[in-house]
Amino acid sequence: MLRFQVYRDGEVPAEFDLSTVYLVGADSVPVRGEFAYAEGEIRCRKRAAGPSALVAMWDVKGFGQVMLETVRLPERPGAYNLNLELARSRMMRLVQKREDWGLFDIPDAHQVNEKFNEARNLLIEALENLDDPPRASILADRCLALAVPLSEQTAAVHAELLLHRRISTRSFSAGVFGCQIDLASTDENSRRRLISAADFAMVPMPWKLIEPTEQMCGWRPLDDWADFLRRAKMPMAAGPLVHFSQNYIPDWLYIWEHDYETVRGLLYEHIERVVTRYAASVGLWNVISGLHVNSHFSFTFDQIMDLTRMSINLVKKISPNAKTMVEIAQPWGEYYARNQRSIPPMIYAEMATQSSVPFDVFGLQLSFGIPRDGCWLRDLFQLSMMLDRFAPLGKPLIVTRLGVPSASSDATKNGGSWRRAWNDQAQAKWLEAVTNIILSKPFVEAICWNQLTDNDAATIPGSGLFNVDYSAKPAFQIWGGMRRAVINVRQGAGKSGDGSRIAGQAPGGPVTPVVPVTPAPRPA
């Protein structure tokens, strides 16, 4: 059993929220475990051998509430000090990434290096007070209050260096900024806002909407959006085509839940219908999304990989000129700690690339701020490290469903907070910081914002770039400024937009659109 003493300001709290807690083993793969909180301790009974780390939502003084991870620890009779282990883990990862990113001799990192020494001294003092756990926890909390913002600053310095390199080669693709649309929002105001906010539109293709009754398809909302985007000459991305979630699967499909061959055949017919109908309009197909989570249908590992291969091959056959995407949901893999029928996200990504599945690009969902798997808030340092994990896979990356709330509410309670309680300004600052980090990665082709306009059906409440009355939020001003900055860089102007740190002048050169424009008419 792993045991962790918990302290708040040196005092033992009466209770601790275990809803966010899980364990991870080697390579950050979650492991199954059972948790209880009693007498000031989190007690973890794990179902896997070897050292494990505890991950939990944690209040960092002066910073906010984020998911943090301890170092991997062996089981022992005594309890570990959770505050201390969280601080030790962050400092260890900060040392590793400073070396990986080559920041020791960078002049811009001088302030980071000074602050690091201060945090290190606090950690050493905490370790020297292990025989006085409350005192050690207070020192560890002070270390963590320095280390978490410092690690974000480290990620920002690294991003700035990479961004200057990317600017110098003008390697941004044409059409970097996209937005998910709401199929129900077909009014003129919504469409005008889309044109002002995005280079391309991501149109969802829920099977549940297309075929609510077996063999009876309805295309009206999708046809309307496809026609509008073609007239507006805005590139169209579409999907996911395969997404086994409650909002996407038609109710009648559950009849065949335990008949894989029938499900596979029905899915084949569905993909064939949709891609054939919209092949002339869509330049990028989000073919598979979150299949590795496997939360609704009990597929085996081989069946998951078979569906991935079949779906990609079918789309390539019908629409050979379009790009195909495999989208990774819940990239930290919290779900795997509770569902062993699923596949850890990075293992699935590696298998997809090694199994000769002919897809073109990975998608990565990064939506935060609500209390559910995949959406617990992570700080910018963790986001940068997660993006780096995709670099060795050799595929371009599109960040999809990027978003955080613009207001705190019951729906966002315990989902995490960044620097302050969520409001319009916090959302805008987060957007600016995370977009600079994302764009600094040379393998990232595009970013797609999660929600254009606030509405009651949004997955992340208040995550739109516009309010319900279509008035622009500060986040839209930042988003628009950064979009203009990238356009200026591509055109050789080398000027940054409002709120953007993208700057510099670069030579000319051809660029490839992320989502190609396909002006041919849609088949009837």
The pLDDT tens digits for 201-241 are 999 999 999 999 998 999 999 999 999 999 999 999 999 99
Q: What is the mean pLDDT of residues 450-460?
A: 89
**pLDDT given at position 524:** 38
Q: What is the mean pLDDT of residues 297-303?
A: 89
The whole-angstrom separation of Cα 225 and Cα 191 is 9
**pLDDT given at position 275:** 97
**pLDDT given at position 108:** 65
**Domains detected in the chain:** 2-165 (no CATH), 170-491 (3.20.20.80)
> Which run of H or of E encompasses 143?
helix 133-169
The whole-angstrom separation of Cα 282 and Cα 365 is 20
Q: CB neighbours (10 Å) of residue 358?
A: 10
Three-state SS string across 195-232, please?
A: HHHCCEEEECCCHHHHCCECCECCCHHHHHHHHHHHHC
**In percent, how much of the chain has pLDDT > 70?**
93
**pLDDT given at position 397:** 97
> Which run of H or of E encompasses 365?
strand 361-367
**pLDDT given at position 169:** 86
Cβ contact 66:148 at 8 Å: yes
**pLDDT given at position 519:** 41
**Res. 17 pLDDT band, cuts 50 70 90:** very high
Which residue(s) pair with 44 in the sheet? 2, 35
The string of pLDDT tens digits covering residues 57-97 is 999 999 999 999 999 999 999 999 999 999 999 999 999 99
**Res. 423 pLDDT band, cuts 50 70 90:** very high
Looking at every residue in the chain, the average pLDDT score rounds to 90
Q: What is the mean pLDDT of residues 171-184?
A: 90
Give the residue, 186 or 116, on which the prediction is more confident.
Answer: 116
**pLDDT given at position 313:** 97
**pLDDT given at position 503:** 35
**pLDDT given at position 143:** 97
Residue 278 has pLDDT above 90, yes or no: yes
The string of pLDDT tens digits covering residues 497-517 is 433 355 323 333 334 456 554
**pLDDT given at position 174:** 83
Residue 195 has pLDDT above 80, yes or no: yes
The string of pLDDT tens digits covering residues 459-491 is 899 999 999 999 999 999 999 999 999 988 888
